[in-house]
Amino acid sequence: MFFVACKKQEQKIVSSTKSDDYSGLKVGNISFYNVRHILHDEQVDRHDTIDFKMKSLIEDTFRDNTGNLRYKIHRFRWNDTIASWVNLNVFSAYINNQYYIENEDNILKKKLYIPYLNNFAWNSDSYNVNDTLYFRYGNFYPSIQIKEFKVDSVIHVKQQFYQTYVDLKRKNEFFAKNKGLVIRYYKDLKIKKGDTTKVDKGEEWFFNMYQFELGK
């Protein structure tokens, strides 16, 4: 299940300079997403889909205990009952040693390498105790359409693809210039006899930006 309406003029990344920003780290930036979460459990005949809206606000900056400048990012979830945004979670992000790094639940993950080089790969988990997981730059899109929302200059980061007779794990993220994350899709599924359309257990997540407000 994909929510990108179309992809235009797909090209390979050649190179990009350090001055180009795909992290979207600017105080005041607000990103709005349509989120879909699908939970599967065939044993109890459960395939539940939850749709909701999420807002991500870069609230402020601070210095950590090693002197790195970090950005405080606050996520909110829309509550239909009270017609208001409610607190979801808070995490931080920063640029260090040519990497864009996010720190969520005390787990550091390298999300982007700067500059952006064709097919470049890096260990996203080298700053934590998780097993090695390589991220790799895929394609560059001069523009993409996410339903009614259009963004220019997007980089595709291939984060995970693993498939066996009974397992399917897939995660990809797309970052737009000066906006940061615009699309994320994630699948961690148990499948039946190698058929990815027959899911036994697991979950799927889809994030698609529908609005962006530039910080002042």
Q: Is 77 exposed, middle or buried (0-12, 13-18, 19+ CB in 10 A)?
A: middle
Q: Per-residue pLDDT for 76 more than 70?
A: yes
pLDDT at 94: 96
Whole-number Å distance between alpha carbons of 193 and 19: 48
**What percent of the chain has pLDDT above 70?**
91
Higher pLDDT pick, 145 / 42 = 145
Give which of 140, 143, 124 is closest to 132, Cα–Cα.
124
Tokens of 172: 């990809």
Per-residue confidence band for 6, with pLDDT thresholds at 50, 70 and 90: very low
Cis peptide before 142 (omega within 30 of 0): no
Whole-number Å distance between alpha carbons of 88 and 46: 25
Break the chain into its structural domains and give their ranges: 6-213
Phi, psi of 43 (to 5 degrees): -65, -30
Whole-number Å distance between alpha carbons of 155 and 134: 16
Whole-number Å distance between alpha carbons of 160 and 168: 10
pLDDT at 17: 66
Q: Per-residue pLDDT for 117 more than 80?
A: yes
The structure's pTM equals 0.89
* Residue the block writes with tokens 């499948």: 191
Q: Is 43 helix (H, G, I), strand (E, B) or coil?
A: helix
pLDDT at 34: 98
pLDDT tens sequence across 138-188: 988 999 999 999 999 999 999 998 889 999 999 999 999 999 999 999 999
Per-residue confidence band for 8, with pLDDT thresholds at 50, 70 and 90: very low
For residues 165 and 151, the answer to whether their CB atoms sit within 8 Å is no
Mean pLDDT of 20-26: 93
For residue 163, the surrounding DSSP H or E stretch is: strand 149-163
> What does pLDDT average to over the chain?
90
Mean pLDDT of 186-206: 90
Whole-number Å distance between alpha carbons of 51 and 204: 12
Q: Per-residue pLDDT for 11 more than 60?
A: no
pLDDT at 48: 93
